[in-house]
Structure 1
Amino acid sequence: MRIKRQGKMPKEDLIRNIVVTSVFLLAATTCSALFLFIGGNRTNVGIVFMLAVMLTARYTDGYVPGIVASVFGVICVNYVFTYPFMELDFTLDGYPVTFIAMLLISGITSTTTTHLKEQNHILMEAEKETMRANLLRAVSHDLRTPLTGIIGASSAYLENRDHMTEDEKTVMVSNINEDANWLLNMVENLLSVTRIRDTETQVTKSSEPLEEVASEAVQRFHKRLPDATVHVTVPDEFIMVPMDATLIEQVIINLLENAVYHSHSDEPIDFNITVHDGLAWFDITDHGTGIPPERLDTLFDGYTPSPNSSGDSHKGMGIGLSICKTIITAHGGTITAANEKQGARFTFTLPLGEDIYE
């Protein structure tokens, strides 16, 4: 994979380079002056500036800031901190060695840093491509089958409606409605991904009331599955959490729907929210058959066909859970799945802000 380099550095990066370089050089000059003021050895001044050069090369982009820091450091040590003071003397012993050493340090550090940044960029691009591939694979699986079901059921209804009983018509229309609602959920999942910026795995967050977000998500869930029962437990305090409320509601809805479709149980779903260790913890637990152990490690990686699943099963967890992980990771949280004694438990966390209590 080739890294595309821009010919001109963005203005923001240029300003950052100038600020970072200035801060490190000012700090080195101040420390050297204080060091000499308390009677320290002058030879250590060069070491301080070498450290400043190395840090400048490490925390800036390109080679220019490191070279500038090297030239400034050599001249500053010669002019300010070497006798005769406030005079340049290029005949001092070791002066060329010091100058070359600083240039080499800045060059090596800048080269290493640039290489590491490029490697990190390559890894991020590879991770994006993997996520896109998993998403496309999940979409092709989770959308194709219900679409086929809708087309087949509607065609059968149009061709045979005169020979069908009212009960048969009701069942067929109900199946079409169920598949259509599932497709709507998938489309909302895909739209959720577009809210996350493509270039950065971050979202625009604002402080939202924890209880209201949970309540809104459960209400939207009940509109789709009115017969499902959810027991919700939230903290007594009124707590604000930084988040994109729409995305977090989508995560909660996905997990609640998975609990209904895959637990094979009529028992109520437990939805508990707690706050501790600087995190808001969301636990959704069902009382069904649990998750096959062989799927736990790859559950959030996108669609992976289960050997025990039927070919016509379209309510796969792949796309929903993969998107849930993307959303939670973009919020700086974590999401996990585990089997309980009876059923499965999904847990995700969100970091709390500084002012969590209203």
Structure 2
Amino acid sequence: MVFVPFEFGAAIFQLIYPYVRPLGSLFLVGSAMMIASLLYPAWPGFVGWLGRALFLGAVGVYWWCASILFLSPSGAILYPLIAATLLAERSARFQGRGLLTVLIASVSLCFGTLMLLVPHGFDRFSFQGAGIQPLGAALLGAGALLAVGLWRRWPGAGRVALGGLSAAFLYMMGVLAVRGSWTGMSVYAVLTLTCALLAAVRRWPTLAGVRWRLFRGMALASVLPILGVGAVTSYLAQRALEVELRGKARQAVAAETAWLEQTVTLARSLLRAQSRNAGFLAAVRAGDREGMRETVELLESEVALFDAAWLLDASGETLVASARLNRIVGNFAHRDYFQDAMKGGDQVLLSRPFLTRANLPFVVFTVPVDAGNGTRVVLVGGLSLQRLGLQPTLASRSYHVELFDRRDGTLLRETDRGGVLTRAPLLALLGEEALSTAEGMWEALDASGRRLLVAHAQVAGTPWTVGVTARLREAFAPVTRMGAWVVAIAVLAGAIALMLSQWVGRDVAVRLESLRDGFAALGTPARELRVRAEGDDEVAQLASGFNEMAARIDRTQKELREAIAIRDQFLSMASHELRTPLTPLKATLDLLIRQSESGAGPTPERRRAAFERLSRQVDRLTRLIGDMLDVSRLQSGRFALTVAPMDLTALARDVMERIQVSRPERQGVLSLEVPDGPLVGRWDEQRLDQLLTNLVENALRYSPPGTPVRVRVCEEDGQVRMDVEDRGIGIPEESLPQLFTPFFRARNATEHYAGGLGLGLAICREIVERHGGRIQARSEGPGKGTCFTVWLPRAAVADAA
């Protein structure tokens, strides 16, 4: 409907033909949305429902206009069953229950029953009116077998039935193809293919994994864009061709009208000139038949226009006749042309068409001639309609041309059949009211159901109307072929893309499965796991990264075991060291308590010695606890700054040079903007080096290769400002508040594996805040880059330190 709308020009489509392209667009868009919802179940549910609504709306219009109103039993059954299946398939009760097989069984049972009961309603599926009832019996039997197979859960019987139905639908498709019914043929082609697939495939593949993702992605990315571009191209080409066709039709009818006007004008001029010839008038008034014959034969000569000429007296008797009419003489007073000429003035009149006594179709021009004594004779020039119909013109070479008399609808000229003096066929197509206007253009259907473009115009100064007819199907054959090629290319591209997706998916899936097995066995004891890293794509890089990660995990596990051993040793030593001063401390305290209870106090020297021992043990405990607190502060990152005057410009240059040297693949992407002079302040040079290095490395890590990273250092409102800006993966808005939290990573940073444990930005914030400054991150969203800005005060450094 979208690509070849003029193929829907038959009588059965006459109600939907003005809207065939929008209706086809609804079918196309609705089908695409339903397919997309099937391929991507995670998409919002309204996509599938909207696609079904569009598709079912188009089906309803098509069903009513092309099936119900034209009493097509096959369409009246098929389309409601399709609509019911689409609606039931989305309900929770019937979802996933194989409704496609139920639909095919229902269609075959209904078709078979109606073909047996009313075979005349399915004549379009037969050759010479035979074979409908056997076809109905085959459909009914196969449908019943399929229904029983579904009910009793006999897959073998179902496959046999589906095989028989595919053969029956293939026969119906072939009959419709022979008859040129492309719409019906496409429907039964789909039914044939569906039955064949259901009969042949015993186990459908599982729609999951990388192969399925590639398959559905390639299916949408290859077929739908080609169909969409092809539809737009076909529409534009059809519109351009339609405008050109209408323009050429107008030119053709104008050329035909101009030729006829020229012919009539020339005939009138010749007849008028001869009627006013002095010699001819003298011969008429003198009764000189030879003189009158010379004038009549001159009108019939080769250089003249007329096929015959004669002269009638006042009573209608033939005075003289041209050579072709010498044997046809008599009284013609009963002819309309003679009566009109005797009643009129001296103008040249054009008669109605008539048959001569020799059964020749003629149209004549008459002019009265004054014969003196108050009498008049009539000079007649005749044009043969047979010869007029054989005259080739510009319009008659490319179009079907009709010329008829508006007074009674008599056909005067027809280029195809050449018949005249019958009822003009155009009047049956358009009616007298449509052709009564001076000119116009219409679309109509002929008796065989072909759509025609008709342009008509009246011949000025005559009661004639010219009609030029073009068959739209033949005129739009180039666009039809182009649309067929677009569909074929889309199908071929889709098939190639799907085969490539399976090939690529198999390769990727095998390598990912090896990675999956590697991850499953990762960390198992006494095993050093490695996966094969083949190729140079991302999967190979992932495999190489996995191998490196596995090696690091092995090293980490070894280090962890060593750390656990060291921890156990440290705890053992700490317990021993803590218990060593506690034992004498408790013994001394117990001794002092017992001596105080007995009343026999120690001597001052012994009491002093006991207190000294207690003091020494307490000092020892204090030192142990202080050492443990220092270790805790070191691990928690509570470090102090070493503040001294320094030049930040020189530091920035050093950092950039060092990074460029260490990362040669990033040459040319790093840019630094610093003031011309030095930026001196009181800062910790080592910590600022660490800060700037972390920010630049972070920008490079999350930026695609080749994208620039800009570093700017400047003064702003008495402070120093540093900007590190990249065009990398960006940061989601919801991740910005927690960006500087230890161990936190944004969602897209987690998806974009780039190493690190999430401590770099937390360390940067600690450094900046220790200097009394602040740090801020800005990003417009994922994929739009990030800018980190640091403000460092100059005067508040000492206070902050």
TM-score, reference length from structure 1? 0.43
Larger Cα-atom Rg: 2
TM-score, reference length from structure 2? 0.21
